[in-house]
Amino acid sequence: MLKPKRKITRKEIKKDPFLESIDKLEYNFEQNKKTYLYIAIGLIASILVINILLNKQSQKNIDSNSDLGMALVAFDNEDYDNAKFQFETIVSEYSGTNSSNVANYYLGKISFENNDLVKSKTYLNVYLKDPEPDILIPGAIKMLSNIALKSSEYDKAIKFLDRGIRLDLNSDIINNFKLIKVSILKDQGKPEIAQKILDEILKEEKLPNHLKRLSEELIGMM
């Protein structure tokens, strides 16, 4: 025969550890529900602030890209004064965006073409601190190297080129940097080092014709 189920007394229920822990949690919540409410409100407010900031950043990027497009059109149309003004506005109003980086590059380029080498160097160095998009890196490296050469700072020019050579760029661009370096080494009276670099370049199987021709010309000038 089945034994009748034993009745659990109220006293035993009170001693149940699980139920006691539930009671404690409920009591704790009742005592601190205002605190929990403030915490919840704070979390919701934080989430809202983050969403607002993300939306603002997204809108900032949209606006900066739009303004950059107009500035680049002015630059392509050789309206350099207008382009310069627009690039300066982008740098001022959209700091920290890719558009601002691009604007610094083009301000450096405009200053370089105007032979304002001090300003050019400043703008280009700012761009290279966070070089996005990286498609502009070769131009920045070449201009900074050229600026150093104009001041007869040959070692500094080579340092800029070495920086470009170490980057993960297209092999043709890297070889172009190396050939500029060879030309500087030749002018410095360091033909052995220059020749070694040229030999390395000419060993490459898929070297484009224009780089091969330039390499051979430099060999003839040694």
- For the segment 177-197, the average pLDDT, to the nearest whole number, is 89
- With a CB cutoff of 8 Å and minimum separation 6, the contacts of 216 are 202
Cis bond leading into 133, ω under 30°? yes
pLDDT digits (tens, 9 = 90+) for 137-179: 999 999 999 999 999 999 999 999 999 898 878 888 888 999 8
Q: What is the mean pLDDT of the chain?
A: 78
Give the per-residue pLDDT at 220.
78
Give the per-residue pLDDT at 111.
95
pLDDT digits (tens, 9 = 90+) for 102-137: 999 999 999 999 999 999 999 999 999 888 778 889
What is this structure's pTM?
0.70
Extract long-range pairs of 184-190: CB within 8 Å, 24+ residues apart.
184/149, 184/154, 184/157, 184/158, 185/158, 186/218, 186/221, 186/222, 187/154, 188/154
| 179: amino acid identity, one letter | L
Residue 20 has pLDDT above 80, yes or no: no
How many other CB atoms are there within 10 angstroms of residue 36's CB atom? 11
| 185: amino acid identity, one letter | L
Give the per-residue pLDDT at 57.
54
Task: Return the percent helix, strand and coil in the chain, to nearest 5.
Answer: 80, 0, 20
